[in-house]
Amino acid sequence: MKHRVVITGLGVVSPIGTGILKFWESLANGVCGVDYVTAFDTSKFEVKIGAEVKNFDPGQYLERKEVRRMDRVSQFAVAASKMALLDSKLTITDDNADQIGVIIGSGIGGMKTFEDQARTFVEKGPGRVSPFFIPMMIPDMSAGFVSIATGAKGPNHAVVTACASATHSIGDSLRIIQNGEAKAMIAGGTEAAITGLAYAGFTSAGALSKNNEDPKGASRPFDLNRDGFIMGEGCGVLIIEELNYALERGASIYAELVGFGESGDAYHMTAPDPEGDGATRAMTRAIQDAGIHPNQISYINAHGTSTHANDKVETLAIHKVFGEYAKSVAISSTKSMTGHLLGAAGGIEAVASILAIQNSLIPPTINYQTPDPDCDLDYVPNQARKAELEYVMSDSLGFGGHNGCLIFRKYHG
């Protein structure tokens, strides 16, 4: 018998607000976090827009010395984790530290540190490279820093599966608790890749929107005129607990985590399988894991990146999984507001899915104006929609053919 698993705390750092209250208010009202990039000089770049986290003060969560020794990607992770722990009222002590773990994924890791130190190496020589370069850069260190900052001594690792990293981190945490290896997990994803080198790479790959004239309207998932994703940054973290452990300490419960599915495309290093096979299998496995029928899903928080290939393939996969019901299930992409947070995307989208259940409200897909014949489902265009949500699915599809899917259920006590 697997242990039941629930969500008791949420933390988020995002382009549309830090903290769950501001984040949810922005989602519910269709607020867009995309604007002109300020993190670096974009004058020589084709793409000049992004979804930056504004007014983030790491000093609210970390000592000054700690801030200097962490890349922005880890600062986000520690901040969101501390928010989530506070929200859950879970105190980590010597008595329970070994039963509380951390899995924080990142697709890229400390990109700003890498870029800065590479420049130092070239311009000033190897002796000037920081002794903190490696621990600030490597993707696992966000999980490490969260463990150090919180005292959590249970299972601790990092998942690096591109845009599915956070979803896989949450799924791995589900399995750990179901199998009795921990009582609680701090799980999610973080990313801070709004840098010149990252923009140069993603632009060369043809992945980013070049709609510089209309930043607020540039991220348009499932719309016929979509032209690429918007780079975003931030972090989403969940406190995931074994049900009885949460009840024994009197925790408030947001939702139950009941399903996880994953798969590989085995197709291409960046493009999704055009038949949607991998995405179809990940969704199907999550539904089977939850022990439900596809028609019981009330809402899908789609991966919905605003690229031509992804949105078309994800729509096709939903058709394959849900059959005739595909036309009836509500679907939206919150990336229309937050941009694409890469390895952190599944984290903040899990937070959005849980808050949708909590508030009986489906966030919209903003900027939806021109229907695409290849994307023919209900994408909750432009306005949030009231709805009682029992089961909610969250999809993530990553470069390398990594697919992940989570299912949350309304908690009834």
- Using a pLDDT cut of 70, give the percent of the chain over it: 100
The answer to whether 219 and 305 have CB atoms below 8 angstroms apart is no
Q: What is the mean pLDDT of the chain?
A: 97
Q: Which CATH architecture has domain 5-248?
A: 3-Layer(aba) Sandwich (3.40)
Q: What is the pLDDT of residue 6?
A: 98
Helix or strand (DSSP H, E) at 5: strand 5-14
Query: Whole-model pTM?
Result: 0.97
Q: What count of other Cβ atoms lies within 10 Å of the Cβ of residue 179?
A: 10
Read off the pLDDT of each residue in 230-259 and give the average, rounded to a whole number.
98
Sorting pLDDT into bands at 50, 70 and 90, what band is 298? very high
CA angle 267, 236, 245 (to 5 degrees): 105
Q: Which CATH architecture has domain 259-407?
A: 3-Layer(aba) Sandwich (3.40)
Tell me the per-residue pLDDT of 155-205, one tens digit each, with 9 for 90 and over.
Answer: 999 999 999 999 999 999 999 999 999 999 999 999 999 999 999 999 999
DSSP-assigned letters across all residues of 291-317: T--GGGEEEEE----S-HHHHHHHHHH
Q: What is the pLDDT of residue 2?
A: 87
**Taking Cα atoms as reference points, which of 354, 378, 1, 400 lies closest to residue 222?**
378
Q: How far apart are CA 282 and CA 294, in angstroms?
A: 13
Read off the pLDDT of each residue in 252-274 and give the average, rounded to a whole number.
95
Query: What are the extents of the domains in the chain?
Result: 5-248, 259-407
- β-strand 297-301 against 391-398: which pairing, if any? parallel
Residue 1 has pLDDT above 80, yes or no: no
Residue 270 has pLDDT above 90, yes or no: no
Task: Please tell me if the domain spanning 5-248 has the same topology as the one spanning 259-407.
Answer: yes
Sorting pLDDT into bands at 50, 70 and 90, what band is 69? very high
* Active site (catalytic) residues: 163, 303, 340
Helix or strand (DSSP H, E) at 263: strand 255-264
Tell me the per-residue pLDDT of 302-334, one tens digit each, with 9 for 90 and over.
Answer: 999 999 999 999 999 999 999 999 999 999 999
Helix or strand (DSSP H, E) at 111: helix 111-124
Tell me the per-residue pLDDT of 359-386, one tens digit each, with 9 for 90 and over.
Answer: 999 999 999 999 999 999 999 999 999 9
